[in-house]
Chain A
């Protein structure tokens, strides 16, 4: 039997939940709450969406010359070895 979870606990543990860092027992208890509580479910969606936006906006395009530089540096190190 899992303990019922209140909104405060669910929100406080939301990051660990989204990060996949909770024990299975805790995770399913939180999920159970999120699935049945509209405001907390909204929080889950919001935090999830925000994280996707942050991750997406932080992607940098690798300059071609950097790829070439690295391959050349490794090649040189190989020859010197």
Chain B
């Protein structure tokens, strides 16, 4: 049993992480703020049922995820592309197979580029990739947070990363961050 009186002290340290993920889930700052505030309020109200010593960060992310799902269901102002329409097969390590660390200025990839690429992922993949790559949750934790079997989590992370890499690679080529794109073929120079 956790003590409601200490909720703010215990939970506020995760605000930055929750807000970062909320921003990418909603794609909108005002909605992200509302989502995070609602998460904290629900967390406060339910804190009595939180088992002390278990994972508070995952518990909060689960509330966030639930609230987000509910908001999606009720609003549906935009078409929800939860799973991708056509399951195009993207090869593994798409980005890396086309370049090398020496030929790509990864550190010059901007916030805007990366966020845009993440935003383009279908809902379920975006969620899984954010929880794994940005928040560093384990597969088991992500399964618990998103309430899907661990095999589904693994498949979403895997396919999400492949898709993200392809988009990022295309942006990197567009922005001239890759010195020698290997897939341009031809060798015109």
Contact = CB atoms under 8 A, between A and B. Distances in A.
Given A58-B24, A77-B45, A70 B40 contact: yes
A29 interface: no
Contact of B134 (A14, A45, A58, A63): A58
Contacts of B133: 51, 54-55
B100 A53 contact: no
Interface residues of B, number: 47
Nearest to A16: B154
Interface of A: 11-12, 14-16, 19-21, 42-43, 45-47, 49-51, 53-55, 57-60, 62-63, 66-67, 69-71, 73-74, 77-78, 81
A21 B139 contact: yes
B138 A21 contact: yes
- Name the residue in A51, A59, A74, A81 with the highest tally of chain B Cβ atoms < 10 Å from its Cβ: A74
B130 A58 contact: yes
A69 B41 CA distance: 11
Contacts of B93: 11, 14, 43, 46-47
